[in-house]
Amino acid sequence: MNSLEHPYNSLSPDTVMDAVEARGFLCDYRLYPLNSYENRVYQVGIEDEAPLIAKFYRPNRWNIEQIQAEHNALRALRASGVAVSAPIEIEGKTLFQHNEFFYAISYKLMGESPEAGNLDHLYQIGELIGEIHHTSKDWSISERPYTPIISRIKKASQYILSTSFLPKALHNEYVKTIDDLILKATQTINDHKQSNVRFIHGDFHRSNIILNDGVMTALDFDDCRMGYAVQDLWMHLTDPDEKHAQLSELIEGYENFCSFDTRELSLIDPLIAERNILYTAWIAERWHDPAFPKLFPHFTAQQYWEQHLNDLQQIRNSWGNWH
């Protein structure tokens, strides 16, 4: 697709405000794009009221049933008293369509992200994740099924190899490194039962948490799906030298609500490899979106790919250090 033909090019400020006003709100023409790459998210000013957040889903990423499953999960968590940001229900609906875009509206939350590595914050984050997992312990979201880690690694790496982004000089070493990671990941994952898969946030880094007056609220369940519990914990481990202290706080907070199988800690290595590879494939897949060349101007430089390969090799060489 030519970047000029990308569907988000038709998402003008007037389109955003028309969509919000179609739900009964009166916009005051103050519109601010927020930091979201996958979707388009805006703070929309409302006359004589607090601003709202309007999220426009990327066309052709999720189908209606998958988006609605996310909304249903959020509404159920919120109804159970879990601190999550849920879409506003209007006339019995949370998902709306305007032109070719599906969108949702939510209330704006004030606050800031937790501090990376702050042990008190990690304890609270563990509590929040534990409460989410406890509330959803019996859920099975068929619209967002578990996809094996190996399958995700293979699909993403094969996509990277099918593009022209990876320099030819690095091709053979990249293939070898991916094969090494797949072998290590397969050996690790074979020790785990898929029956332990459960509902997870799926992308629970600290930017998806708002801290306000001591209360943490979980945001952006766009990647929610079935997976392993440790997936929602490991991204808060920011310093390998402090991993034991950080894990201790996360798990202690988590277990106030939900027991944690520490055997899952061995999955952190495959999950780190998966996220690294998927992130690079994601940029490549979205390159036709005109926002991405602006956001990642270094992506086409050989230095980016040398660093990416080096990161993968470091993951391979340090395998097992997280547990």
The closest of 99, 107, 88, 70 to 23, measured between CA atoms, is 88
232 is written with which tokens? Answer: 């929602």
Q: Exposed e or buried b for every residue in 150-171, given b needs 16+ CB within 10 A?
A: bebbeebbebbeeeebbeeeee
The closest of 323, 322, 320 to 184, measured between CA atoms, is 320
Active-site annotation holder among 28, 191, 220, 239: 220
The binding site for Mg(2+) consists of 208, 220
For the question of residue 223 being annotated catalytic, the response is no
Q: Which neighbouring-strand residues pair with 49?
A: 46
The binding site consists of 208, 220
192 is written with which tokens? Answer: 């785990």
Question: Rounded to whole angstroms, how far apart are CA atoms 36 and 15?
Answer: 18
87 is written with which tokens? Answer: 């879409």
The label of the residue with tokens 């068929």 reads: 142
263 is written with which tokens? Answer: 């055997």
For the question of residue 220 being annotated catalytic, the response is yes
Collapsing DSSP to helix, strand or coil, 295 comes out as helix
Active-site annotation holder among 18, 28, 203, 289: 203
Residue positions annotated with a catalytic role: 203, 220
